[in-house]
A and B are shown apart, each in its own frame.
Chain A
Protein backbone atom coordinates (compact mmCIF):
# COMPACT_ATOMS: atom_id res chain seq x y z
CA UNK A 1 0.00 0.00 0.00
CA UNK A 2 0.82 3.73 0.12
CA UNK A 3 1.93 4.07 -3.48
CA UNK A 4 2.68 7.50 -4.86
CA UNK A 5 2.77 7.79 -8.63
CA UNK A 6 4.42 10.66 -10.45
CA UNK A 7 4.12 11.53 -14.13
CA UNK A 8 5.97 12.11 -16.33
CA UNK A 9 9.19 10.46 -15.23
CA UNK A 10 11.17 12.76 -17.47
CA UNK A 11 10.44 15.75 -19.68
CA UNK A 12 12.44 18.00 -21.95
CA UNK A 13 11.05 21.41 -22.78
CA UNK A 14 12.18 24.59 -24.42
CA UNK A 15 12.98 27.70 -22.46
CA UNK A 16 9.90 29.85 -21.91
CA UNK A 17 7.38 27.04 -22.00
CA UNK A 18 5.43 25.57 -19.06
CA UNK A 19 5.53 22.03 -17.78
CA UNK A 20 3.00 20.25 -15.58
CA UNK A 21 3.96 17.39 -13.29
CA UNK A 22 1.32 15.16 -11.70
CA UNK A 23 1.48 13.41 -8.36
CA UNK A 24 -1.13 10.83 -7.46
CA UNK A 25 -1.74 8.78 -4.36
CA UNK A 26 -2.91 5.49 -5.85
CA UNK A 27 -4.37 3.61 -2.92
CA UNK A 28 -5.00 6.24 -0.30
CA UNK A 29 -6.27 9.75 0.10
CA UNK A 30 -3.79 12.50 0.87
CA UNK A 31 -4.98 15.84 2.17
CA UNK A 32 -1.38 17.00 2.13
CA UNK A 33 1.35 16.38 -0.41
CA UNK A 34 4.87 17.75 -0.48
CA UNK A 35 6.96 18.84 -3.44
CA UNK A 36 10.73 18.56 -3.30
CA UNK A 37 13.53 19.55 -5.63
CA UNK A 38 16.82 17.73 -5.84
CA UNK A 39 19.96 18.80 -7.66
CA UNK A 40 22.58 16.20 -8.64
CA UNK A 41 24.35 14.65 -5.68
CA UNK A 42 22.45 16.86 -3.26
CA UNK A 43 19.75 16.36 -0.70
CA UNK A 44 16.03 16.95 -1.09
CA UNK A 45 14.88 20.50 -0.59
CA UNK A 46 11.27 21.11 0.30
CA UNK A 47 9.64 23.52 -2.12
CA UNK A 48 6.05 23.62 -0.95
CA UNK A 49 3.32 21.87 0.94
CA UNK A 50 0.25 21.17 -1.14
CA UNK A 51 -3.08 21.24 0.72
CA UNK A 52 -6.24 19.80 -0.79
CA UNK A 53 -8.81 22.48 -1.39
CA UNK A 54 -6.64 25.38 -0.30
CA UNK A 55 -3.55 27.30 -1.28
CA UNK A 56 -0.15 25.72 -1.12
CA UNK A 57 2.40 26.81 1.45
CA UNK A 58 5.72 27.71 -0.13
CA UNK A 59 9.13 27.56 1.48
CA UNK A 60 11.23 30.67 1.71
CA UNK A 61 12.87 31.52 -1.57
CA UNK A 62 10.46 29.50 -3.74
CA UNK A 63 8.51 31.66 -6.20
CA UNK A 64 4.85 30.75 -5.96
CA UNK A 65 4.07 32.39 -9.29
CA UNK A 66 6.70 30.30 -11.01
CA UNK A 67 5.90 26.99 -9.36
CA UNK A 68 2.12 26.71 -9.43
CA UNK A 69 0.63 24.01 -7.26
CA UNK A 70 -2.92 22.74 -7.53
CA UNK A 71 -4.28 20.11 -5.15
CA UNK A 72 -7.78 19.73 -6.56
CA UNK A 73 -8.61 16.32 -5.16
CA UNK A 74 -7.58 14.00 -2.35
CA UNK A 75 -5.49 11.91 -4.75
CA UNK A 76 -3.94 14.43 -7.12
CA UNK A 77 -1.56 17.33 -6.80
CA UNK A 78 0.06 19.06 -9.76
CA UNK A 79 3.16 21.21 -10.00
CA UNK A 80 3.43 23.52 -13.00
CA UNK A 81 6.76 25.10 -13.77
CA UNK A 82 5.86 28.25 -15.65
CA UNK A 83 8.11 29.98 -18.16
CA UNK A 84 10.79 27.42 -17.53
CA UNK A 85 14.47 28.35 -17.83
CA UNK A 86 17.57 26.16 -17.93
CA UNK A 87 18.22 26.85 -14.24
CA UNK A 88 14.89 25.13 -13.46
CA UNK A 89 16.34 21.88 -14.74
CA UNK A 90 16.26 19.53 -11.81
CA UNK A 91 14.73 16.39 -10.32
CA UNK A 92 11.30 17.12 -8.85
CA UNK A 93 9.83 14.65 -6.37
CA UNK A 94 6.46 14.59 -4.68
CA UNK A 95 5.48 12.80 -1.52
CA UNK A 96 2.42 12.03 0.53
CA UNK A 97 1.37 10.24 3.68
CA UNK A 98 -1.73 8.32 4.63
CA UNK A 99 -2.13 10.19 7.91
CA UNK A 100 -0.53 12.93 9.96
CA UNK A 101 1.63 10.48 11.92
CA UNK A 102 2.28 8.07 9.07
CA UNK A 103 5.54 7.68 7.14
CA UNK A 104 6.14 9.84 4.09
CA UNK A 105 6.12 8.00 0.77
CA UNK A 106 7.74 9.39 -2.35
CA UNK A 107 7.01 9.22 -6.02
CA UNK A 108 9.75 8.20 -8.44
CA UNK A 109 10.47 11.77 -9.41
CA UNK A 110 10.42 13.78 -12.64
CA UNK A 111 13.61 14.72 -14.39
CA UNK A 112 13.05 18.13 -15.99
CA UNK A 113 15.49 19.39 -18.59
CA UNK A 114 14.98 22.87 -19.99
CA UNK A 115 16.88 23.59 -23.18
Chain B
Protein backbone atom coordinates (compact mmCIF):
# COMPACT_ATOMS: atom_id res chain seq x y z
CA UNK B 1 0.00 0.00 0.00
CA UNK B 2 0.84 3.67 -0.11
CA UNK B 3 3.25 5.14 2.44
CA UNK B 4 3.53 8.89 2.96
CA UNK B 5 6.37 10.42 4.93
CA UNK B 6 6.25 14.04 6.10
CA UNK B 7 8.98 16.32 7.40
CA UNK B 8 9.59 18.16 9.61
CA UNK B 9 7.38 17.11 12.50
CA UNK B 10 7.64 20.57 14.03
CA UNK B 11 8.49 23.90 12.45
CA UNK B 12 8.79 27.33 14.00
CA UNK B 13 9.14 30.46 11.91
CA UNK B 14 9.04 34.17 12.54
CA UNK B 15 5.98 36.03 11.35
CA UNK B 16 6.50 37.12 7.77
CA UNK B 17 8.96 34.37 6.94
CA UNK B 18 8.21 31.42 4.67
CA UNK B 19 7.49 27.86 5.77
CA UNK B 20 8.10 24.73 3.74
CA UNK B 21 6.79 21.26 4.54
CA UNK B 22 7.86 18.25 2.49
CA UNK B 23 6.28 14.86 1.83
CA UNK B 24 7.33 11.79 -0.08
CA UNK B 25 5.11 8.98 -1.27
CA UNK B 26 5.83 5.43 -2.30
CA UNK B 27 3.14 4.45 -4.80
CA UNK B 28 3.94 5.81 -8.25
CA UNK B 29 0.28 5.32 -9.19
CA UNK B 30 -0.85 7.99 -6.72
CA UNK B 31 -2.23 10.94 -8.62
CA UNK B 32 -3.90 13.25 -6.12
CA UNK B 33 -2.14 15.14 -3.32
CA UNK B 34 -4.13 17.34 -0.93
CA UNK B 35 -2.90 19.36 2.02
CA UNK B 36 -4.97 19.84 5.15
CA UNK B 37 -4.74 22.29 8.03
CA UNK B 38 -5.97 21.12 11.40
CA UNK B 39 -6.51 23.51 14.26
CA UNK B 40 -6.70 22.27 17.81
CA UNK B 41 -9.89 20.33 18.52
CA UNK B 42 -11.17 20.60 14.96
CA UNK B 43 -11.30 18.44 11.88
CA UNK B 44 -8.83 18.88 9.03
CA UNK B 45 -9.60 21.60 6.51
CA UNK B 46 -8.53 21.29 2.90
CA UNK B 47 -6.28 24.21 1.99
CA UNK B 48 -4.89 23.22 -1.39
CA UNK B 49 -4.54 20.16 -3.58
CA UNK B 50 -2.68 19.15 -6.71
CA UNK B 51 -3.13 16.43 -9.28
CA UNK B 52 -0.36 14.54 -10.99
CA UNK B 53 -0.81 16.29 -14.32
CA UNK B 54 0.30 19.59 -12.75
CA UNK B 55 3.71 20.49 -11.34
CA UNK B 56 2.76 23.51 -9.28
CA UNK B 57 -0.33 25.22 -7.96
CA UNK B 58 -0.68 28.47 -6.08
CA UNK B 59 -3.44 30.09 -4.08
CA UNK B 60 -2.50 33.46 -2.61
CA UNK B 61 0.14 32.77 0.07
CA UNK B 62 0.00 29.00 -0.33
CA UNK B 63 1.63 26.95 -3.04
CA UNK B 64 2.22 23.27 -3.63
CA UNK B 65 4.85 21.70 -5.88
CA UNK B 66 4.94 18.13 -7.15
CA UNK B 67 7.87 16.14 -8.47
CA UNK B 68 6.47 12.89 -9.84
CA UNK B 69 9.86 11.50 -10.78
CA UNK B 70 11.17 11.86 -7.26
CA UNK B 71 7.76 11.13 -5.75
CA UNK B 72 7.72 14.11 -3.48
CA UNK B 73 5.56 17.18 -3.00
CA UNK B 74 5.89 20.25 -0.85
CA UNK B 75 3.73 22.92 0.74
CA UNK B 76 5.02 26.49 0.72
CA UNK B 77 3.49 29.21 2.87
CA UNK B 78 4.80 32.71 2.32
CA UNK B 79 4.42 35.78 4.54
CA UNK B 80 3.36 33.60 7.44
CA UNK B 81 0.96 34.96 10.04
CA UNK B 82 0.20 33.79 13.59
CA UNK B 83 -3.13 32.39 12.40
CA UNK B 84 -1.23 30.00 10.15
CA UNK B 85 -0.15 28.16 13.30
CA UNK B 86 -1.71 24.68 13.16
CA UNK B 87 -0.92 21.09 12.26
CA UNK B 88 -0.56 20.49 8.54
CA UNK B 89 -1.07 17.09 6.94
CA UNK B 90 -0.15 15.99 3.46
CA UNK B 91 -1.93 13.07 1.84
CA UNK B 92 -1.82 10.96 -1.28
CA UNK B 93 -4.31 8.84 -3.12
CA UNK B 94 -5.12 7.28 -6.45
CA UNK B 95 -8.36 6.59 -8.19
CA UNK B 96 -9.76 3.30 -6.96
CA UNK B 97 -10.38 0.35 -9.22
CA UNK B 98 -13.90 -0.58 -10.33
CA UNK B 99 -15.09 2.94 -9.67
CA UNK B 100 -14.52 2.77 -5.93
CA UNK B 101 -13.89 6.02 -4.14
CA UNK B 102 -10.27 6.82 -3.56
CA UNK B 103 -8.86 6.60 -0.06
CA UNK B 104 -6.35 9.02 1.36
CA UNK B 105 -3.11 8.03 3.05
CA UNK B 106 -1.96 10.78 5.40
CA UNK B 107 1.48 11.91 6.41
CA UNK B 108 2.35 12.14 10.10
CA UNK B 109 1.71 15.88 10.32
CA UNK B 110 3.75 19.03 10.92
CA UNK B 111 3.10 21.34 13.84
CA UNK B 112 3.73 24.82 12.45
CA UNK B 113 4.20 27.65 14.92
CA UNK B 114 4.41 31.21 13.64
CA UNK B 115 6.06 33.43 16.22
CA UNK B 116 4.83 37.02 16.36
Contacts and interface: CB of A to CB of B under 8 A. Distances in A.
A46 B103 contact: yes
Interface residues on A, range: 20 to 34
A24 interface: no
B20 interface: no
A44 B44 contact: yes
A108 B43 contact: yes
A5 to B, nearest CB: 10
Contacts of A103: 34, 46, 49
A103 B101 CA distance: 11
Contacts, number: 53
Contacts of A31: 101
B8 to A, nearest CB: 14
Contacts of B44: 44, 93, 106
Nearest to A110: B43
A109 B42 contact: yes
A104 B89 CA distance: 13
Interface of B: 32, 34, 36, 41-46, 49, 89, 95-96, 99, 101-104, 106-109, 111
20 contacts: A4-B43, A31-B101, A34-B104, A43-B107, A43-B108, A43-B109, A44-B44, A46-B104, A95-B43, A100-B101, A101-B95, A103-B34, A104-B34, A104-B46, A106-B36, A106-B43, A107-B43, A108-B42, A108-B43, A109-B43
Given A43-B107, A104-B34, A108-B43, 13 more contacts: A6-B43, A31-B101, A32-B101, A34-B103, A42-B108, A43-B109, A100-B95, A101-B32, A104-B46, A105-B46, A106-B36, A107-B43, A111-B41
